[in-house]
Structure 1
Amino acid sequence: MIIIIPVDIYYADWIKENDFPVERKRLVISVQMIVAVGYYYFVEQIKSKKALAEAELNAQKLQKENTKAQLQTLKNQINPHFLFNSFNILNSLIELEPKRAQLFLEQLSNIYRVFLENINESLIPLQKEIEVMESYRDLLQTRFHNHLKIEIKIKENNTNWLIPPGVSQMLMENAIKHNGFNKSNPLSIEIYQEGDYIVVKNNKQERTEPSTSTGIGLRNIKARYELQGNEKLLIENTDQYFIVKAPLLKSQAS
């Protein structure tokens, strides 16, 4: 319409005066039609690509929001679970050992402060997670004394690594739930870095009573890693040791 009609209307007299051959006119019109169709196709392709890009962007936004919602749901499982266990322990300590109960409460407050600081974060720096590890270790040592040995062997210069918050704490808790221990046979938990992983390793000791754990810990951690990508927990279960390797994720800044 834009190209052919002006030629026919505005140049009709010139074509007649110059005895423009009909075949030439047909050729010109054919070329014009090809150009017009090509132009139309080009414009439609641009519009189609733009619409596809917008659709993909909207899909990514929806997926991101869905992932955030799922992560928040998983994180909401942690705090009530942790608090419920801690308050039960605190209740028993208040009657038997008030001084230890006071220390336990101070350490519990410190840990929960860190939880609140990172409540909206799906990943935190490894250094911050080490702070959680150390606080939780102190809390457990207050509770179990020399029945439990926890060694944290991680360098403090790992500033480029990220990890879902509370992973180490949940793995320590998992080791305690599934093993029996006492003063003569303490439970030993080692936490160290091995390449791109944080490793939590404990010796296996049979409980005198069966574990009443719901399995929420490992399931929760696995799900949180799955939502971050293809990273997966590595679990080694031997006759002597139970080992969990939690992936460390690279900071975008690095």
Structure 2
Amino acid sequence: MGKLNEVHVRWIGIFLVAVLATLNDGDDHMANEPLWFHYFVSLCFTAVYWNGAWAIIYFFRRKFPEISKTKRRISLTGLSMIIWMSIGGIPLKLIFDVVSWKEVMTLQEHLRYIPFNFVIAAVVSLSYEAFYFFEKWKDQFRLYEQLKNQQIRTQYEVLQNQMSPHFLFNSLNTLTSIIPEDADAAVAFTEKLSEVYRYILQNKDRELVSLKEELDFVESYLFLLRMRYPNNLSFQFNIDKKYLGLTIPPLTLQMLVENAIKHNVVSKAKPLHIDIYIDNGKSVVVKNNLQLKGSLEKSTKTGLENIRKRYSILGNRKIDVITSASNYMVAVPLIDLLEEKDLHLV
């Protein structure tokens, strides 16, 4: 419910409920008052009760917005609503001389309106909660669809890049040069090449993979690159085992490694070194020494923008890019599925 629409619905509802309250009013204190005065009093009471209820509902909605905390939110909201409906109208009762101070202090006076107030409070709060739940469900569905579409684009772009003639030419050229010199190395190269494609195909329908799976894949990918640049490329992993169960979007690290190769000189005079490590237990960092090429290959648009979009969809998470005079680092968040129950991703 948009903010403007909610305001309209609330105040239209207040005027309509005031009519029902007027027709239901059997208060002997106001028996001699004209009907318009009855309606005015009912309108004031309804406005106070409804706006107070709205404030309570939105307070707990902001405090416990997650679907996983729905029970806690409803319980606290209901308890607060009962208290509010019992005491919220006391000042108005005194102002309009509906009751005296003496009557306010009696339990009987508060019990008189509980059935009607409880029904109105239940209808209003449940309507808000039902609409809120529906909106959250739509958001989850929309998030899933966005992630699915982005994932499909990612798969296509990565497959397109790796299946391109340039990539195949380089891989086959490397394999051809290895075969006469070292048959065992050629077999190892072929196996790693198949692992790279197998990983992409096996994870085509997944939004998140474990860090261990992604690192195993990156090792296979780096193996191919190191065969192309035997003395010009080195890499180091510094990952504690306790983080291997955390998750990231598939192909994230591969894209960052690919960008490092694409944008930097890799030669004997200027070897490229890539570090992959954990930062503060919350992010995995891909770092390389900075030695930019004078000219770049045509971009396939599978780099940082793609990663940014996917992390934005995954709960509006952000990646950090840090550039110094000698190094380039990208930190991407690690996702703990045990703490992210509302994502519903596998």
Taking a change above 3 Å as real, the CA distance of residues 249 and 150 of structure 1, as seen in their structure-2 partners, is same
* Cα deviation, residue 95, structure 1: 4.6
- Displacement, 1:137? 1.8
Change in CA separation of 1:122 and 1:210 when aligned onto 2, cut-off 3 Å: closer
After superposition, the CA RMSD in angstroms is 3.2
Matching of residue 93 in structure 1 with residue 174 in structure 2: yes
- Asked if structure 2 preserves the Cα contact closer than 8 Å seen for 1:104 and 1:143, the reply is no
Closer/same/farther in 2, CA of residues 59 and 203 from structure 1, 3 Å limit = same
Residue type of the alignment partner of 1:139: L
* Whole-angstrom distance in 2 between the partners of 1:251 and 1:58: 19
Q: Deviations over 1:205-236 (max 9, x none)?
A: 24354443344211111111111122211111
Partner of 1:166: 251
Measured in 2, the distance between the counterparts of 1:155 and 1:222 equals 25
Question: How does 1:187-206 map onto structure 2 within 5 Å?
Answer: 187-195=272-280, 196-206=282-292
Contact 1:190 1:201 in 2 (8 A): yes
Amino acid at match of 1:232: K
Say whether residues 1:78 and 2:78 are aligned partners: no
Q: Aligned AA for 2:331?
A: K
> Is contact 2:285–2:329 with CA below 8 Å preserved after alignment?
yes
Equivalent in 322, 332, 337 of residue 236 of structure 1: 322
After TM superposition, the structure 1 stretch with the greater mean CA deviation from structure 2, 65-74 or 176-185, is: 65-74
Report the Cα offset of residue 189 of structure 1.
1.0
SS class of match (2:152)? helix
Shift of 1:94: 4.7
Deviation of 1:113 after TM superposition, in Å, equals 2.0
User: 2:284 and 2:126 mapped to 1: Cα distance?
Assistant: 48
Q: Quote how far apart the aligned CAs of 1:36 are.
A: 8.9
- Equivalent residue number for residue 56 of structure 1: 135
Alignment of 1:129-208 (within 5 A): 129-195=214-280, 196-207=282-293
Normalized per residue, the structure richer in strand is 1
What is the alpha-carbon distance in structure 2 between the residues aligned to residue 106 and residue 213 of structure 1? 28
- AA paired with 1:204? L
How many Å separate the matches in 2 of 1:205 and 1:35? 75
Structure-2 change in CA distance of 1:102 and 1:80 (3 Å) = farther
Once residues 148 and 39 of structure 1 are traced to their aligned partners in structure 2, the CA distance between those partners, rounded to angstroms, is 72
Note the residue ranges of structure 1 that are not aligned, 5 or more in a row.
1-22
- 1:71, 1:227 within 8 Å by CA — same for their partners in 2? no
Change (3 A) 1:52 1:189: same
CA contact (8 A) 2:249 2:310 kept: yes
CA distance in 2, matches of 1:43, 1:230: 34
Shift of 1:50: 6.1
Q: Report sequence identity in percent.
A: 28
Aligned-pair CA distance for 1:62: 3.3
